[in-house]
Structure formats: C-alpha cells, structure tokens
A and B are shown apart, each in its own frame.
Chain A
Amino acid sequence: MSEFVFATAQYESGDWDSAPLVPPNIIDSVARYTGIEVAPTGAIVPLSSSDLFRYPLVYATGHLPVRFTAAERANLRTFTERGGMLFVDDHNHDIDGAFHKTASEEIRAAVGPLVQLPNSHALYRAFFRFPDGPPATSHELNGWGDNLVHAHLQAVMHGDRVAVLYSNKDYSSEWGYHPDNKRFLSVDNTRFAVNIVVYALTR
C-alpha cells in the first residue's frame, strides 16, 4: 500500500498558497496519532491536472474570490465522483465574504450544493471524538472575522459520503504554524485534521 500524501489544491484564481504550514502540521498530526504511512512533505496539485486523481484528500484554502476554470470544475466533479474528498477552508473565517460566496458557488456548480453537516456525523467520530461537532478556532472565540462561532461545517454529500467538506472556521489560520511549535499547546488543536484524514481514507 502506498503512503498517504497530503495534497494542497492549486487553482488559477485567488491565493491558494495562503496557508503553507497547514500541510506539514497535519502530516505531523497524522504521524503523531496514527499508524498511517504518510509522506513527510505535502504535495501541491493543480486542480485542473489529472494528477488530482492520485490523492484521496485535497485541501483548498484562500482569502480571495475563487473562480474555477472550466477544466478545474470538470476535474473536481470527476474527482469527487471517483471517491475523492475535497476539504475547503475559508481563510477569511466569515460567512458572507467573497471567498465564501464565490467558493460555495463554484462548488455548487462543480459538485453540488453545500448542506449543513450534522454534528453527529461520522466525521466527528472517525478517530478522535468531537461530540459537539467541529472544534472552535481561536479566531472564532476572539470574535474575529464574522464575529460568529460556527456551529456546523457544510458538505456536499454523495450518498452518505462527504465529497466536499467546507469550513468557515478558518482552520487554515488555526493550524498554520510550524509543527515543532505544537509542543507549546496543552491540547493539540490539529486533532480534528486527523479525523478529516482518517475519514477521507476510510469512508
């Protein structure tokens, strides 16, 4: 079995590379808590490339408006239809910003409409238990962004499987630090990322 490679989506518009430290941090957590064979560095994959199909989970983030090209849209549709999972995180941590509006519009056009993911979903029990749903980020608790603590994540479902996981919670900022600094945290705030990876690999 080949090792898991954490992939970041590179799309034509926007600042897709706004959170370069999230991938190594998640890779660190996957190795720290699970026995999953994981590559020590992440990969960057253009959303319009056929290389996309080599990765079971692809992470996308940014601050700026998202406009997929026709090739990106078609590729993303095929990717999710073939069982891939896209994790999109709004780096602006708001609900009515340009990233949210444009990204959700593009996701709807490419894959399907986003619906609220119930906090009892299997994603929150895929490895660690999160009985209250998605963990809040410090940005939400500080009142930054839209001044809200988002109670739910959103998703595009293919049957009972999450094809696209969408977050307004700005995990990209919350997890955007060097993994060596994880030792300063009393509770590792990247544990939820492990659930996302395990869910994408097993469901």
Chain B
Amino acid sequence: MSPARRRVGAARAALAGSVVASAALWGLAISLLAWLALSAIAGVAGRSASGLANAPGMRSVVALAAGVAVATAVLRRGRRAWSLEAVALWLEEQVPALRYALVTALDARFAGADPALERAVAAARWERPLRRALARTLLPPLAAVAAAAVLTWVLTPGVAMGRNGERGAPARSAPARATSADAPSRLAPLRASVMPPAYSREPEQTLHEPSTIAALVGARVVLTGRGSAAGIVAAAGDAAAAVAEIGSEWRLELAMPTRAAAIRIRDRRFERIIVLEPRADSVPVTTLTSPPRDTVFRTPGGTLGLTADAQDDIGLSAGWLEFIVSSGEGESFSFRSGTVGRGTFGGSKRGNLRATLSLDALGLKAGDVVHLRAVVRDNNAVSGVSVGYSETRTLRIARLGEYDSVAVEGAPPPEADRSEVSQRMLIMLAEALERRRQSLSRTALTGESGRIARDQARLRRRVGEIIFARLGGEGSAEHAHGDDDAASGAGGRRLTPAELLKAAEAATGSGVGEALDFEGDETPVVAINRPLLEAYNAMWDAERELGVGEPRRALPHMRAALAAIQKARAAERVYLRGRPPAVVVDLDKVRLGGKLENVGAEPRTPRADASSPAAARAARLVAAIGLLVGDPRGASDSLALLRVDAVESAPSLARALGDAIEALRAGRDATAALRSARRAAAGEPASRSQLLRWGGAW
C-alpha cells in the first residue's frame, strides 16, 4: 500500500468514527427529550389519560425509536465518509495546493507511475481541516446530550430523590423511581402513630392529618402516607430524616425530641409542616407533711413521726426521708447525714412516705440542728431520672439559757475601745507614781500627778464626746457646758448621771430605740449610755484627785471608770439575731483613698443589644397573617414554624396558634384563634402606678 493511500485511509477512519459517534449522541439526546416530552404530555393529560401518555414502558419504547431514527438519519447523511475516493476529494477541496495529485495518486492506473505525485502528497498537511471537521461533527450532538441530561435531572423527581438520597437518606430508603411531576401529593392523607416510652405505660395514639403532634420526650412517632417513598424528602429541624417504603406506603419514623421542632416533608412541589411538641416528664413533687413546720426542742430526746406525700405526672419510682444534723457554732461546724423511710412506689402516680426518727439515736446535743426533707424520684428511662425534693424543716435543740440572752455577733470595735486602752495606761501610770511616791518630793509628785490628770481630762472629754454625739449628734455638747465644768447644770450644780441623761433625752426628743426592752423603768437612752456616764463621772473624780497630787485616792475612781468602760464595751457587742449591725460607710472619707496597685482593667467587648423575643414573635405573627389572603398555605406554614418557637417561651401563644392552624387546615374561620394569638403575642397589658412623663405632644 502506497503512503498516500495509508494517509487517506487514516483520515477516512477518523471521519467515519466521528459520524458514528455523532449519530449515537444525537440518538441519545433525542431519546431523552422525547421521553421528557411524553412524560409532560402524560402529566397534562392526568391520571385519567390512557395509552401512550400514561404508560411508562411505552413512553420509553417511543423515545428509543425516535433516537434510533435520528441516529440512522445521521449515519445516512455521513455515509460518504466510508468512501476512500470521496474522502480524497474532500481533502483535495480542503487543501487546493494538491492540484488533484492525491486523487491521481490513489487511482490504480497511475499508482507508482510518477514519484513526483507521491512527494506532492507527502508534503501536503490536512490535519487542521480534519480536526475542524471532527469538531463540527461532534460538538452539536454533545451539547444536545448535555442539555437533555440537565432537563432530565431537573424535571424528573426520581433523579432528584437520588440526589437527596446521597445527602441524607440511608441506603435502605426506597430506590428512586419516577413519579409524575404533576401527580397528586403523596403527603395527604397522612397518619401519625405515637408510641409513648415504655416506662410511661401510656397507650399508643393514632392521629389523622395532624398539624401538631404532642407527646412525651422520647416517644416514637411514625408518619405514614400512601404511595412510594421515591422523591419524598423529610427533615426534622435541621437534620434530614429517612423516608422508607413499606408495601404501598411511605413511612417516616423518628423520636420525639427534647425541644419543639418542625418536620418538613416535601414531595416534589408539595410540602407539609408538622410541629413536634414535646411534653417533658415533670419532676416529681413531694411535700413533707409532718413535721409541718420548723420546731425548737427543749431537750434532745424522744421520737419524731415523719410523713411525706409524693406525686408525679407519669409514675414514681422510689423515695426516702433525708436528714442532716449540724452541730457547732461560730466558725466550727460538723455535719452528719442519713436517710430513713426508704420506699418504692412501683410506678404509681401518688404515694406517701412514713418513718420514725429517734432523736435519742441521733445523739443530739444542745444547739444541734436537724434538717429534714423528703426526696422522691420518678421512672424516667429516656432523659434520665428526675428527683424531687420537699421543703426543708429544721428542728433545733435549744441551748441552755438561750432564752435569757440574744445571739452575739461579731461587731466593729466600739469607739470606747480606744478609751479603755488609754484608761488602763493611766491606771498603770498612777500605780507606778504611787509606788515611787516615797522617793519623790511633793512638787515632783504634784507635777507628775498633774500630767496624768491632764491626760485623764483629755480622756474624759473623749468619752463625753461619744456620749453627747450619741444623744444628740453634737460631739461638742460637753463644751457648751464649759470645759472646766462639763457636767454642770445651768445653775452651776453638777448633775447626777440620771439627771444628765434625762436632760439629754429631752434634748433629742426622739426616745431612741423604744422598741427594745430594758431593765426597770429606764429608757433606752439612759440604759445604753449609763455605763459611759458612770465612767465619765469617775474620770472626773479621778482627775480632781490627780490634780491635787493624790494618785492613791484617784486610783479607785480610775478603776471604776475602767470597769464602766468594760461594761459599755460588752453592751456594744450585743446584736439581735436577724438584725445585723448597720455599718454606714463614710463614702466621702474613703472615696478613692486606696492604693491603686496592680490595677489593669481590660476593656470589655460590648454586647449586642438584646432584642425582644416577644416583639420578634409579634412581628412574625403579623407577617404570617398578612400572607393569609394571597398564600394561605404559606401562612399556615409560617404559623406552624412560629408555633415551634413559641412552645417553650410563650405557651399561651403556642396554644392559640395551634387552634388557628387547625382551623385553617380544616377550612374553618380562624379569626377568633388568630385574635387570641395576637393578644397572646402582645403580652399582658402593662399597668403603671403613675402617668408617663409628658412627651411634648398630645
């Protein structure tokens, strides 16, 4: 075979192959398009149509025949590609420089006659026009096939189901099968079977055409509809749910979640939303009926009957009575605990606990406190056992003599403390002076005693300030009487403590602390300040003796003053339990007076404004109601989704929405239910105790 014949043969094979491929592609594209067209015709004709339109097998045959016919036509049109001479002439046309050398070289009569012909053919280049011809032949049918495939992908439910099946459905889902695009919805009629958890012992329920399914958390919910599962897509909340096919029905099975959710089921253009409304298993409730109140026992003995009632919405499992004994006081406490009266309820909804507690066996001491409560648990095997507790009763064993006193709490150091320390020092100085008395001259003794007297006078004035500040808030009241005659009356006569206090109380006119009880007929003012007044007068006497150089005679007065201060100090530390001392911080005095070391506050990230969930719900409700006229199905779905969000946070709104949805789906008038929903969404009317400030306009 000559080189020229070999080259032309290769070109012929490429052209013939492209014709065959083109025929196959055109045939495939036409088959797909024909099948889609026939399916569309069948959809328009409806289920009542018969014959070609409604027979899937026949549609396929017709589509295949159309494809074969077109392929045959294409092959026939390109039949010249099988002829070597025709291909050579086509190449001569594409490469004019050959000047018929190629046709001549292939002619048997001239084959090998002229080497110049073979050289001319060998020099010719026809690869480029050959590639262009191949592209022209293959690209149009390829595009047609791609378009047909896309149309099939988009318009055929079976293919769509397969796509979704890859994303969410498990392998056991039904295989994709074609369902007519305009076939009736398989989402109605819809039946829901609700199987509560076994521990609840509640019966199975069947609901028809449900818009809401309310059940215990963990209940098994099975939705069933007619038809195959092919093309039905479902999601519960954000998670895809598997739709299976059993016999002639599709079936969706899921567990009741812990939070409200919406199930969306889609069948082609049909969609259905069902609200899952979980009902949580309530925590069991128990009440300690005996002892009915807190008690104080005078002696730690005897027995105590304990009883408690219990109830649960589903069923009780067990219960017991629990006690804790706390002993000690102040910063030192010890504790013991235990249980009595443990019992089981066998799943009943009501029950009671009984026990006897021996106080002797507990070994209680004075001051001990017994804390009692009942504990019950339910049977919840799904979300975990819930435990309920009763209120706690406390039984206290009285302390000896506790009724004669009040509890003593920690207290700030009273102002008199400073005086007390100083008085001790003055006594020590006076005693030391008295011991050295024999070795001192009268002048030296008088001089040193005079210095102690001046300190004593200073201390007396400080005590006086405390007294007068308390009585009338006027710290310098003593000075009003003259520095040298502090406790003298108007007539220059020195007042007794009782007279002075009486005058002070009259001056204040308040009768401070009248609610408190004090001994005898003394008013609180006199009773509280008497010790300090006694100290004040004793200091006065001591000061006088020290001033004349008689520390020995001054010492009894000084010791009396110290004893009185001690008494006042003890009185300061008594506080009634439940009324802690009200320490008032002098803010102006301490403001920004601290050392700012190791300060390094970091800037905080501002939080987003808190939006009002109630306002958002109200806006969604208004928007959903607005859809009612133009898109009632969309409105119903919007209300259902709003209900999902409202189940936990706004139960009254959720109830009203449920009524409205049921009414809408049943074709009834939903006005009343929607009005209730709007009222619930708006919330309770706000009432104010006073008018709002005027806003500038009526």
- Whether A27 sits at the interface, judged by CB under 8 Å, is yes
- Whether B598 sits at the interface, judged by CB under 8 Å, is yes
Closest CB in chain B relative to A184 CB, distance in Å: 11
- Whether B476 sits at the interface, judged by CB under 8 Å, is no
Interchain CB contact (< 8 A) of B585 among A31, A34, A102, A126? A31
Interface members, chain A 67-121 (any B CB < 8 Å): 67, 69-70, 91-92, 97-98, 102
Give a binary string over B310-345; 1 marks a CB under 8 Å from any A CB, 0 the rest.
000000000000001010000101010100000000
Q: How far is the CA of A92 from the CA of B331 in the complex (A)?
A: 7
Q: How far is the CA of A198 from the CA of B548 in the complex (A)?
A: 61
A63 x B602 contact (CB < 8 A) = no
- Whether A176 sits at the interface, judged by CB under 8 Å, is yes
Given A32-B590, A65-B335, A65-B371; A24-B585 close (CB under 8 Å): yes
Given A17-B577, A69-B391; A63-B333 close (CB under 8 Å): yes
- Whether A46 sits at the interface, judged by CB under 8 Å, is no
B392 x A64 contact (CB < 8 A) = no
> From DSSP, what is the main secondary structure of chain A's interface residues?
loop
A32 x B412 contact (CB < 8 A) = no
Closest CB in chain A relative to B24 CB, distance in Å: 63
Given A41-B583, A67-B392, A179-B583; A98-B324 close (CB under 8 Å): yes
A31 x B326 contact (CB < 8 A) = no
Interface members, chain B 580-615 (any A CB < 8 Å): 580-587, 590-596, 598-602, 604
Q: How far is the CA of A129 from the CA of B373 in the complex (A)?
A: 43
Chain B residues near A173 (CB-CB < 8 A): 331
B326 x A179 contact (CB < 8 A) = no
Q: How far is the CA of A70 from the CA of B584 in the complex (A)?
A: 34
A178 x B599 contact (CB < 8 A) = no
Closest-by-CB residue of A relative to B285 is A70
Given A24-B585, A98-B337; A128-B326 close (CB under 8 Å): no
B326 x A65 contact (CB < 8 A) = yes
- Whether B394 sits at the interface, judged by CB under 8 Å, is yes
B410 x A179 contact (CB < 8 A) = no
Chain B residues near A177 (CB-CB < 8 A): 410, 412
Q: How far is the CA of A144 from the CA of B596 in the complex (A)?
A: 30
A13 x B392 contact (CB < 8 A) = yes
Chain B residues near A148 (CB-CB < 8 A): none
Interface members, chain A 26-72 (any B CB < 8 Å): 27-29, 31-35, 38, 40-41, 44, 63-65, 67, 69-70
Chain A residues near B331 (CB-CB < 8 A): 63, 91, 144, 173
A67 x B592 contact (CB < 8 A) = no
Interface members, chain A 189-203 (any B CB < 8 Å): 191, 198, 202-203
Closest CB in chain A relative to B389 CB, distance in Å: 8
- Whether B413 sits at the interface, judged by CB under 8 Å, is yes
Q: Size band of the B side of the interface? A: 35 or more
A13 x B371 contact (CB < 8 A) = yes
B587 x A40 contact (CB < 8 A) = yes
B584 x A92 contact (CB < 8 A) = no
Closest CB in chain B relative to A122 CB, distance in Å: 7
- Whether B696 sits at the interface, judged by CB under 8 Å, is no
A127 x B604 contact (CB < 8 A) = no
Chain A residues near B600 (CB-CB < 8 A): 125, 128-129
Given A122-B602, A203-B604; A20-B585 close (CB under 8 Å): no
B578 x A17 contact (CB < 8 A) = yes
B581 x A20 contact (CB < 8 A) = yes
Chain B residues near A127 (CB-CB < 8 A): 599, 601
A179 x B585 contact (CB < 8 A) = yes
Interchain CB contact (< 8 A) of B584 among A29, A40, A63, A191? A40
A181 x B590 contact (CB < 8 A) = no
A98 x B590 contact (CB < 8 A) = no
Chain B residues near A179 (CB-CB < 8 A): 583, 585, 590
Give a binary string over B494-511; 1 marks a CB under 8 Å from any A CB, 0 the rest.
000000000000000000
Give a binary string over A3-35; 1 marks a CB under 8 Å from any B CB, 0 the rest.
000000000110001001101100111011111
Chain B residues near A64 (CB-CB < 8 A): 326, 333, 369, 371
Chain A residues near B337 (CB-CB < 8 A): 98
Closest-by-CB residue of B relative to A105 is B389
Closest CB in chain B relative to A67 CB, distance in Å: 4
- Whether B409 sits at the interface, judged by CB under 8 Å, is yes
B373 x A20 contact (CB < 8 A) = no
Given A35-B592, A122-B604; A129-B333 close (CB under 8 Å): no
Given A31-B591, A181-B413; A128-B598 close (CB under 8 Å): yes
Interchain CB contact (< 8 A) of A20 among B409, B584, B596? B409
Closest CB in chain A relative to B385 CB, distance in Å: 14
A125 x B413 contact (CB < 8 A) = no
Given A20-B410, A32-B591, A40-B587; A67-B391 close (CB under 8 Å): yes
A129 x B581 contact (CB < 8 A) = no
Chain B residues near A41 (CB-CB < 8 A): 582-585
**A–B Cβ pairs within 8 angstroms, 28 of them:** A17-B409, A20-B410, A20-B580, A23-B583, A28-B585, A31-B587, A31-B590, A31-B591, A32-B590, A33-B599, A34-B592, A35-B592, A40-B585, A63-B326, A63-B333, A65-B324, A65-B371, A67-B391, A67-B392, A70-B391, A98-B335, A126-B601, A127-B599, A129-B598, A177-B412, A179-B583, A180-B412, A180-B413
Q: Taking beta carbons and an 8 Å cutoff, which residues of A are in contact with B?
A: 12-13, 17, 20-21, 23-24, 27-29, 31-35, 38, 40-41, 44, 63-65, 67, 69-70, 91-92, 97-98, 102, 122, 125-130, 144, 173, 176-181, 188, 191, 198, 202-203
Q: A63-B326, A64-B333, A129-B600 are in contact. List 6 more A-B contacts (CB 8 A).
A: A20-B409, A27-B585, A32-B590, A127-B601, A128-B598, A177-B412
Q: Taking beta carbons and an 8 Å cutoff, which residues of B are in contact with A?
A: 324, 326, 331, 333, 335, 337, 369, 371, 373, 389, 391-392, 394, 409-413, 575, 577-578, 580-587, 590-596, 598-602, 604
Among all A-B residue pairs, the 3 with the closest Cβ atoms: A20-B580, A178-B412, A67-B392
